[in-house]
Amino acid sequence: MSVIVTEEEPVSSASGVTPAAVGEAATLIQSNAAEVAAIDRSVRLPVLLFFGAGLIWLLGGSLLHLLAAIKMHEPRLLSSVAFLTYGRLWPAANDALLYGWLSTAGLGLALWLAARLCRARLRHEGLLTVAWAVWNAGVLLGVLGVLGGNSTSFEWLEFPWYAAVVLLGAYAFISVWMLLMFRARREGNTYASLWYLLAALLCFPWLYATANFFLLFLPVQASAQAPVNWWFVHGFYGLWLTPLALAAAYYLVPKVLGRTIHNYPLAVLGFWSWLLFSGWRGGQSLVDGPVPVWMSSVGIGAAIFTIIPLVAITNNLFGTFRGRGDAWGWSPSLRFTHVGLLCFVAATISGILLAIRSINRVLHFTQMEVAWNYLALYGFVSMILFGAMYYTVPRLAGWDWPSQNFIRYHFWLCLAGLGTIIFALAMAGIVQGYGLRDPGVPVISTVQMINPLLVTRTCGVLLLGAGHLVFAASFVLVLIRARGGQPVTASDVVGGRRRAPAVATEEIQPTSATVEHAVG
Amino acid sequence: MNRMSVLVLGIMACFLTSWVGLAVTPYYQLGQLLPDTDDATGEQAPPGFSGRAEQGRAVYAANGCVSCHTQQVRFEGVPATGGPDIEREWGERSTVARDYLRDTAAYVGSQRVGPDLANIGSRKSPDSYKYTTAWHYQHLYQPQVVTPGSAMPPMRFLFEKRKIAGQRSHEAVKVEGEDAKCLHSDEEIVPTEQARQLVAYLQSLKRSSYPLPEVPTAPAATE
């Protein structure tokens, strides 16, 4: 089924592959390099701005996370400073991650993908930077609002109402550009990547507006708030962050490998079933809780059914990878994407297990849920965002990554940090879970028992943060050197162990960066 | 799947199902519940919150207490009268949707680093000092002294240190341990208005201290 093509060759449809089945790899191939370069150039400013702001939030959020992690085992630290109390730090750190890093960088990625997939040039990108500024102002307002004591204390919706209004306004502004690009679309076919992108872009405003409306602007009776809140949390992950990440994976994996996606019908099935089931998972977080039993039962059912999209999506993406383990060596974007997808598998399977009633009774309310969040948000979404940035940033900036070693350090620090955190918190969750199940064990004992594991987790957060710092440094170096204005040559990128043919396939292709530089 | 319109409508339809199911349905099924009126006494359950307790709810929200404390008693078994939450005496029965009827916002929570607080206002202890207003103040001010090993952040910013003017305040926090050494003999720690509000809120959390027809009460509690 897979057709191996090089970037410059037109795809032969003689292989019996339907036009739509010709994966994302085809998009560029059929175009001429100059056009792609022009498209990339048209989005370079806003996309790099979104990425850059995302990275600042990632670093800021990591700092807040670190402080919160330390406070878990050193509660008396800085206890007289109101805005640094754990109950403000922790949501602020999470929201900085969710809205500041994942959503902001995700929006940059969405812009770039939309331009590439629609083969449309972005116009009036200067105005879009205003929307960028407003979006980031919204996140800043939100984080400061939470730290300043205006938290709503609704899970993942802690931002005070005024921040939510700013975010929604900025999003509406940004979506006008997206809409214009989709209208200008010239391709006859749609690709899996485009479906996911569209799903994310349509679901986010609906989700975020509904949740804020029902919980903050015109709050429903409190007895109805919990289901709405959990519908939002699962929707934010399943219908906003996941589609963004999968859009990137569906674009990059076939593209970098020069293949088509493995199985088109399965991609269709995976898409629709994921969309349908993840919206209904909210009840899994309210098992035995103060809601009608049907809600938790439906939530558990929907969680179990996500096995269908999981199989379809992973079969497709890993099928496209098959036999190309060598890509790990030469393509950082694929290495990160691959790990991200493995975490997606792990997160989906463990998400199903955590939903099952008998397991939920033990592990809900424990650090296991926090471990799951790290796995899903940092392991899956964040790693795929890194992978996508490794691909796009050199093309947009016209300069390759400064050092192979930086990429290697980033990768291994992230893996070591995440591994440590997830291991420690999962263990803590199990200890805590069985402790809380036993009425003979005082709650304070469960906290004392997990204390060493919480210290271990802090070490993991440090490692992860160091990884982020290395990546941010790489990013800044690319931008600084790109401003130097020397052309990218193959010698700049043949560093480390990368082999010559790989250079042509991945990081710097004549189709984008060099041509763009020649043009610009 | 090449028609954009089909794609957009399909996505909207998928989203719409869960929107109706988990956002709109709760609004109608749970958002319009009415209090239960006792025919004999005319009393309504659940009881309302005082103005000060309501202000305390805002303090609870502002400081993210929900990050570590739930406010829900889970049930197990058929009829649902058992489970570790009940055995821990976190409530005489499980909490149901109607128990949150009087709240402006319900913080049911998802983490139990600390104990559940659904019924902290009606919790009993053999130690007569425990759960009193003075105990709450001390616990908020120095949780590690009240509960050695506690992971709770001391909420020092809800209190103020001041010179004792004439008589010692009746609200002055009983400060013990290391913290007492930092305190001069002519100084005292008193709660701010926010601390008073927060404690009023905590003490009015009695989510399952009244019966509701839709939820069975644990057999032990009815004796």
CB atoms B31 and A224 under 8 Å? yes
CB atoms B87 and A436 under 8 Å? no
CB atoms A279 and B32 under 8 Å? no
CB atoms B97 and A370 under 8 Å? no
CB atoms B84 and A436 under 8 Å? yes
| Average model confidence (pLDDT) across chain A | 87
CB atoms A279 and B15 under 8 Å? yes
Q: Is B41 exposed, middle or buried (0-12, 13-18, 19+ CB in 10 A)?
A: exposed
The SS3 call for residue A459 is helix
CA pair distance A186, A209, nearest whole angstrom: 31
Cβ count within 10 A of residue B56: 24
B187-191 and B159-163 as β-strands: parallel, antiparallel, unpaired?
antiparallel
**B103 interaction partners in chain A (CB closer than 8 Å):** 222
Single-letter residue type at A30: Q
Partner-chain residue, chosen from A158, A226, A369, that has the shortest CB–CB distance to B108: A226
Q: If you average pLDDT over residues A474-485, what whole number do you get? A: 87
| β-sheet bridge partners, residue B175 | none
Q: If you average pLDDT over residues A479-496, what whole number do you get? A: 55
Partner-chain residue, chosen from A211, A219, A221, that has the shortest CB–CB distance to B101: A221
Please report the DSSP string for B126-176 in residue order. Answer: SSTTTTSHHHHHHHHH-HHHHSTT--PPP-GGGEEEEE--SSPPTT-----
pLDDT > 70? residue A10:
no
Give the range of the structural domain holding residue A155, as residue numbers without chain letter: 24-519
B187-191 and B44-45 as β-strands: parallel, antiparallel, unpaired?
unpaired
Is A14 contained in some domain? no
State residue A32's pLDDT score: 62
Is A3 contained in some domain? no
CB atoms B143 and A75 under 8 Å? yes
Is A13 contained in some domain? no
3-state helix, strand, coil in chain B (%, to 5): 40, 10, 55
- Contacts (Cβ under 8 Å, ≥6 apart) of B16: none
pTM, to two decimals: 0.90
State residue B217's pLDDT score: 73
Partner-chain residue, chosen from B10, B84, B106, that has the shortest CB–CB distance to A439: B84
The SS3 call for residue A334 is helix
Q: How confident is the model at residue A422 (pLDDT cuts 50, 70, 90)?
A: very high
pLDDT > 70? residue A349:
yes
CA B187 vs. chain centroid, Å, equals 32
CA pair distance A149, A169, nearest whole angstrom: 23
Partner-chain residue, chosen from A85, A290, A298, that has the shortest CB–CB distance to B99: A290
Partner-chain residue, chosen from A280, A288, A447, that has the shortest CB–CB distance to B18: A280
Backbone angles phi, psi at B14, to 5 degrees: -60, -45
Token couple for B155: 């909420």
**A154 interaction partners in chain B (CB closer than 8 Å):** 105
Can you say whether residue A365 is alpha, beta or left, with left for phi > 0 and alpha for psi between -120 and 50 degrees?
A: left
Q: If you average pLDDT over residues A494-518, what whole number do you get? A: 34
CA pair distance B20, B22, nearest whole angstrom: 6
The domain tally of chain A equals 1
Is A16 contained in some domain? no
Q: If you average pLDDT over residues A186-210, what whole number do you get? A: 90
**B150 interaction partners in chain A (CB closer than 8 Å):** 75, 444, 447
Regions of chain B short of the pLDDT cut 50: 221-223
Distance from CA of B40 to the nearest CA of A (A): 26
**B30 interaction partners in chain A (CB closer than 8 Å):** 220-221, 223-224, 227, 291-292
| β-sheet bridge partners, residue B161 | B189
Each residue's pLDDT tens digit, A138-169: 999 999 999 999 999 999 999 999 999 999 99
pLDDT > 70? residue A371:
yes
CB atoms B155 and A190 under 8 Å? no
State residue B211's pLDDT score: 87
**B74 interaction partners in chain A (CB closer than 8 Å):** 287-289, 361
- How is chain B split into domains, by residue range? 43-222
Task: Specify the CATH number for the domain of residue A230.
Answer: 1.20.210.10
Size of interface A-B (CB pairs under 8 A): 243
Please report the DSSP string for A338-356 in residue order. Answer: HHHHHHHHHHHHHHHHHHS
CB atoms A158 and B144 under 8 Å? no
Nearest CA in chain A to B156: A80
Among A198, A206, A184, A320, which Cα is nearest to A247's? A198
Element of type H or E holding A277: helix A264-279
pLDDT > 50? residue A410:
yes
Mutation target for A interface from B17, B67, B147, B159: give the one with most A CBs within 10 A: B67
Cα-trace Rg, chain A: 23
Q: Which fold has domain B43-222?
A: Cytochrome Bc1 Complex; Chain D, domain 2 (1.10.760)
Single-letter residue type at A194: L
State residue A479's pLDDT score: 93
Q: If you average pLDDT over residues A404-431, what whole number do you get? A: 97
pLDDT > 70? residue A314:
yes
Percent above pLDDT 90 for chain A: 73
Among A314, A300, A313, A294, which Cα is nearest to A352's? A300
State residue B219's pLDDT score: 59
pLDDT > 90? residue A498:
no
Distance from CA of B86 to the nearest CA of A (A): 9
State residue A21's pLDDT score: 40
Each residue's pLDDT tens digit, B75-124: 887 666 678 998 898 988 889 999 999 999 999 999 999 999 999 999 98
State residue A124's pLDDT score: 84
Q: Length of chain A in residues, anyone?
A: 520
Partner-chain residue, chosen from B26, B94, B152, that has the shortest CB–CB distance to A227: B26
State residue B220's pLDDT score: 52
